[in-house]
A = this chain, B = another copy of it.
């Protein structure tokens, strides 16, 4: 975790975070990240939710040519389910950023997060963009990361430093963390000299084993966006595997920070499935356990209820025999061969970290999904969010 140390932008970037007045709390709510080049390569992945917010529809178009000059992000409103007016507002936001920065609106990514179904106050957006542009700085990474928080209790940043180049990242997200894509807002920046095709491939490789493998509450957002910008300002050419490794390191770091800050969570839970016939089988089983409300409540209660693990495994189509399943919880094999194993009283769940290993005894593949417990605080936060 690097979240508590300031993480600087790579060379070629400036950023800022300001208070536009979108949030009732009066905390920062508008961020700007600008790529000053010389390269302006970019790639992105978006939510797979068919009900997508206006900024997602817009930004998909922006990414079509692989060039991005700036990313503007706001908290305090998702601009989702806002119809034609919502899309016009996103377009107008991009136009205003473009005017202020002297770039093309078609090269400005827009990200929004907050409550669904409300129009953004555009006067505050435009004055906020003006203030953010005035505040742009090579030291602005942390301020930008702070301004995109919603129910996040901490801002999230991460860094991977290579020889003469680096990748930095900022992320927000504390709920609706489920996969089938990154489910949060993430901006990654690198000063490496990269080929656009390499950038896209490396980003997809990185997100598939990081953000796609966290599953806090099985809920998929309408606004999720992960965008990576490459300035080439370091002059160091990086490609293929090296780029993917660096992006994966930063994405994995951010993903763990997101799970650690998930709404109301009291335990961080790693569901590791081993002995699977395929990675897909391992992921299906791990996700079925991670999404089981009864299991998640049991962990909240420090209860090593392995029966609920087996009941969840039994709902999948993965290759396994019920009579050969093993389940280990924090080092204690509480279920052996589908039946009672070591004494469940030996399992210590009082710490924050929980490690569940499910051995399918059906092959040699493995995968891990990271999730949280289901707590009173989760219910409280999510029953009071919009009121």
Contact = CB atoms under 8 A, between A and B. Distances in A.
Interface of A: 49-52, 78, 80-83, 85-86, 115-119, 175-176, 180, 217-222, 291-294, 297-298, 300-301, 303, 305-308, 310-316, 320, 322-323, 325, 335, 337-340, 374-376, 378-380, 382-387
Nearest to A50: B314
A119 B307 CA distance: 13
10 contacts: A49-B314, A50-B315, A51-B322, A115-B307, A218-B293, A301-B384, A303-B384, A303-B386, A374-B379, A378-B379
Nearest to A266: B383
A337 B294 contact: no
A319 to B, nearest CB: 11
A32 to B, nearest CB: 26
A316 B81 CA distance: 17
A375 B379 contact: yes
A268 B180 CA distance: 30
Interface centre among A81, A337, A386 (most CB of B within 10 A): A81
Given A81-B338, A222-B311, A383 B298 contact: yes
B117 A335 contact: yes
A311 B219 contact: yes
Given A49-B315, A298-B385, A300-B379, A80 B220 contact: no
Contact of A293 (B85, B293, B305, B314): B293
B80 A297 contact: no
Given A175-B294, A300-B379, A314-B50, A340 B386 contact: no
A145 B167 CA distance: 64
Contacts of A303: 383-387
B338 A293 contact: no
Contact of A219 (B294, B339, B383): B294
A81 B334 CA distance: 11
Q: How many copies does the complex hold?
A: 2
B374 A314 contact: no
A175 to B, nearest CB: 7
B83 A340 contact: yes
Contact of A217 (B180, B293, B305): B293
B311 A49 contact: yes
Contacts of A378: 293, 297, 379
Contacts of A119: 340
A322 B380 CA distance: 29
Contacts of A337: 83
A314 B221 CA distance: 9
A305 B218 CA distance: 17
A141 B123 CA distance: 69
Given A52-B314, A314-B49, A379-B376, A117 B307 contact: yes
A175 B312 CA distance: 14
A360 to B, nearest CB: 12
A104 to B, nearest CB: 28
A164 B83 CA distance: 59
Contacts of A180: 315
Given A176-B311, A376-B376, 15 more contacts: A50-B314, A50-B322, A51-B338, A81-B310, A116-B311, A117-B335, A176-B294, A219-B311, A219-B312, A221-B311, A293-B378, A298-B386, A301-B383, A301-B384, A305-B385
Nearest to A313: B51
Contacts of A222: 307, 310-311, 314
A82 B298 CA distance: 20
Nearest to A339: B83
Interface centre among A306, A379, A386 (most CB of B within 10 A): A379
